[in-house]
Amino acid sequence: MSGRQAATRKLLQEMRQLQKEPIDGAIIDVDEDNIFSWKIALFGPPDTPYAGGYFKARLDFPDTYPFNPPNMRFTSRIWHPNVFPNGNICISILHSPGTDHLSGERPEERWNPTQTVRTILLSVISILNEPNTSSPANVDANVSFLKYKRGESDDYLQRVKHDVQASQRLAKEDGVTIPSSIDDYVIKHKPVEEPVLTADDLMDSDVADSDEDYDYDHDSEGDDEDANDEHMGEGHDVADGCGDGEVDDGGREEPEQEDN
């Protein structure tokens, strides 16, 4: 099996798992004919300046996934200390594996194959709840956020409010209803009924060879849900090593701009 085939199989597995167990405050749109590019929309978490917002983003995966991280970029305008001006999101688990002495990140804080789309999105939601100010991607947004926290200025709130209002117009165009309360924000999960396996089922080679048992990590004993749960906390070590906020757009598309 080629690397691209393995990545495709892994992404389809994650997509189906997220359909079965959605993430609160997130909409995921995946075209199976273009499995390496996912459309994401995140609702602003309740009780934050981003509440009432509808922020669209893209996840672009490499052929080497899950051994290398995807790139995540907001396509909606969002004023945030951990988002570069071109929309790229700066969180540790989206940084390639290895050691970077300049960033100060520990290897275990960076990407590893046990991370998933779920841990990425939970990490991004985490910084919407509480930006990481220790190593900002957008220095101006970071300064305005710190002044807001100290009660010195409401510029941060005003800028975020402007982005939220612009995103609400976009939600209306998309026919999306934005949650207006915590109860609306939290997805009501239905219990999943697991099939009862018989002895004959357990002997069935199709069960033994299912996607759940596929080993994506050549050096480990499998990439299963327990491994993801054990590393869920790593998904929240975010936004380190993002430099001084300068970024080379590299020809990337600018975030969508809304009219005032």
Q: Is 181 left (phi over 0), alpha (psi -120 to 50) or beta?
A: beta
Question: What is the helix (H) or strand (E) element at residue 148, kind and residue range?
Answer: helix 139-149
CA–CA dist 216, 235 (Å, integer): 19
Assign 3-class secondary structure to 95-154.
CCCCCECCCCECHHHCCCCCCCHHHHHHHHHHHHHCCCCCCCCCHHHHHHHHHHHCCCCC
Residue numbers annotated as active site = 90
Round to whole Å and give the CA distance between 216 and 221: 9
In this structure, are residues 117 and 18 in contact, taking their beta carbons and an 8 Å threshold? Answer: yes
SS3 at position 64: coil
